[in-house]
Amino acid sequence: MLTAFAASPTPASALSCARVIPLEEEFARAAAVFRGEVDERRDDGTVALRVDAVWKGADVGPSVVVQPNMWVDFREDGEYVVFAERHDDAWSPILCGNSGTESAFARHALGEPIETFPPPPAQPPEPALTGKTAAFAAAVLVVVAYVSFAAGARWSRRRR
């Protein structure tokens, strides 16, 4: 019985990247090359990236959906350069390629992007109290102070 167990092959799978694809070769092979920051990790496993630069890919907009693979781990606080292939409705990094964090990538090797997108507008600050709202807040504060003072004075007279 031990012989039968040892002799039966077991299925295996692996990704063998004997070499990383040279940058020029991957650029030619990719349907799109872009840089973006993780905007949202979705329940279906995809990641939404807010794109700010595109080196290749006419249909890359300011927001793209990327299907992560074992080659690139998209983290919420990261900015990534992605050499992508199109799969269904999402982009996917080319396996064994140069996709990765922007900080680890020699971005200057790609040259100038063909398109850039401005960052999203900053959230406006909360408005300060003005006009009627400020007057109402002041009136409430005066009433609360008066009630507190009156209650304190009454309590102090009772203790005597």
Kindly state the helix (H) or strand (E) to which residue 83 belongs, with its residue range.
strand 79-87
Strand-pair category, 100-101 with 32-41: unpaired
Tell me the CA distances in angstroms from 10 to 5, 6, 7, 13, 155, one per residue in order.
10, 10, 9, 10, 85
**pLDDT tens for each residue of 68-91:** 887 788 888 888 999 999 987 789
CA R_g for the chain: 30
Q: Is the pLDDT of residue 13 over 60?
A: no
Q: Is the pLDDT of residue 12 over 60?
A: no
Q: How far does Cα 65 stand from its chain's mean position?
A: 11
Q: What is the mean predicted confidence (pLDDT) over 89-107? A: 79
Better-scored residue on pLDDT, 104 or 95: 95
Domain 18-116 has CATH 3.40.50.460: no
Q: Which of 2-6, 110-114, 129-133, 148-152 has the lowest mean pLDDT?
A: 2-6
